Amino acid sequence: MLNTVCLGLTWYNEPNNIAGIMDTASNVFNIIYTIEVLIKLIAYGRGYFADGWNNFDFTIVVVAWLGLIAVAAG
């Protein structure tokens, strides 16, 4: 829920310090979600991908990392 609040706190022409804080918060949440995926992968093994919600979570985490890589490379 806190992640959703952080996403909703961005606006056009926001000050750079607030944008930096929101970027940091986004990265922290991405790390938390990545750890969650890794724990579930270790616990469930290949059975992790049998659940549609796990597939959705995995896709979101991968896309978030790809977005971070694209921003860093750009």
pLDDT of residue 19: 87
CA pair distance 36, 54, nearest whole angstrom: 10
pLDDT of residue 1: 85
CA pair distance 3, 66, nearest whole angstrom: 19
Q: What is the mean pLDDT of each successive set of 10 residues along the chain, which is 74 residues long?
A: 82 88 92 97 96 97 95 88
Does this model's pTM top 0.85? no
Domains and CATH numbers, the chain: 2-73 (1.20.120.350)
pLDDT of residue 46: 92
pLDDT of residue 4: 83
